[in-house]
Amino acid sequence: MKHFINLEDIPAKDLRKILIDAKKRKKARKKLNNLESDKGAPLRGKLLIQMFEKSSLRTRLSFYLAIKQLGGSTLTLRPDELHLSKGGESIEDTAKILSNFGNAFMFRTGNDFMLEEFGKYLSIPIINGLSPSSHPTQILSDVFTVEEIKKKAISKLSISWIGDSNNVLNSLIAASTKFSFKLKIGCPKNYQPDQKIINYIKKKRNKVSIFYDPKKAAEGADVIFSDKVISMNDKVNKRKKLNSFKKFTIDKKLMSFAKKDCIFLHCLPRGSEVNDEVFLSKQSKVWHQALNRVHVQKSILLYCFGKLR
Ligand code: CP
Ligand code: NVA
């Protein structure tokens, strides 16, 4: 069994195997309904326990369908109904119970430490469904979407991120190392990735550049990504932060600096970082992107269970 906590810790060849499996599975179930299982139902009888300390629509729904399509089932726990947060039950004891009752644990948390702690004590796989510092299932799925739409390996494409330096960007940076693609980041100077991330970029010598001018970051892009300026875990002066990002709003003018066939991706939910004209345009592939999470999460689950074909 394997955990899926951060892309940095997973070998590139395993990440590629997950994407290859997702492609095969997606193709093989074209005629099936959402709740019908894949041929062979490889996770028949398995229970995925999900817990969300923060809101979620897409991650919740896509994991629900993912495990169902593999023949298993899911149960969602509310953290405020557990002894863990109210009665002081330890993470170690909670993890022991989760491991005895379930077969995998998908966790969205407001505290990275909790992920590591659960990872230490669980004897079943843990999957990071978003933490303050990363969102690995989202980005792995986004690499899948990019390659599917562009019909090219992502290493041959120029990827841009225009927006906040947050959890989703951190995972995109990790992906740029694992899949070896060029990444241009456009953000205000005061909101660039933190020193730990800059050190990671330097250490891995990957092709990441940071621009304080959004036009420069958009130039020649095959894909432009963005995300909300204010994330769920942000403890900042919201008005001040939103003001600093005004020049970075993604509109038609900014998109015109990218390649003609550039696509726009956004993990959702959205805020003011992109206007409707772009978000609802043909270039925007956000709905397709959201649905692909089901397919990639199935292969992530199989990877965790040691059952990748
Ligand atoms: N993109 C994403 O993770 O969406 P949710 O927060 O709705 O799960
Ligand atoms: N960066 C966003 C992503 C939401 C899916 C957040 O953490 O709120």
Give domain status of residue 309, yes or no.
no
232 lines ligand 2 (CB under 6 A): yes
Distance 131 CA to ligand 2 centre (A): 9
Q: Which of 3, 25, 293, 295 is catalytic?
A: 293
Q: Among the bound ligands, name the one nearest to the CA of residue 141.
A: 1
Annotation says 293 is catalytic: yes
CA–CA distances in Å: residue 159 to residues 183, 198, 309: 5, 18, 30
* Active-site annotation holds for 108: yes
* Average pLDDT value for the chain: 97
91 and 155 inside one domain: no
Out of 52, 54, 58, 128, mutate this one to test ligand 1's pocket (max ligand atoms within 8 Å of CB): namely 58
* 32 and 171 assigned to the same domain: no
Q: Which domain holds residue 215?
A: 136-287
Q: Judge whether 215 lies within some domain.
A: yes
Ligand 1 atom showing the smallest separation from residue 135 Cα: 3
Q: With a cut of 80, say whether residue 114 has pLDDT above it.
A: yes
pLDDT tens digits, one per residue of 219-233: 999 999 999 999 999
Respond yes or no: is residue 227 known to be catalytic.
yes
pTM of the complete model:
0.97
What are the tens digits of pLDDT across the range 6-33?
999 999 999 999 999 999 999 999 999 9
φ/ψ of 243, rounded to 5, equals -60, -40
Residues 294 and 250 in one domain: no
Bridge partners (DSSP) listed for residue 265: 225
Query: Is the domain of 142 the same as that of 276?
Result: yes
Contact 227, 267 (CB under 8 A): yes
pLDDT at 85: 75
In a domain, 94, yes or no: yes
Asked if 12 and 88 sit in the same domain, the reply is yes
In terms of Cα–Cα distance, which of 89, 265, 259 is closest to 161?
Answer: 265
CA–CA separation, 242 and 272 (whole Å): 8
146 C-beta closer than 6 A to ligand 2: no
**53: pLDDT confidence band, cut at 50, 70 and 90?**
very high
Cα-to-centroid distance, 142 and ligand 2 (Å): 14
Q: 194 catalytic, yes or no?
A: no
Question: Are residues 121 and 16 part of one domain?
Answer: yes
CATH number at residue 126: 3.40.50.1370
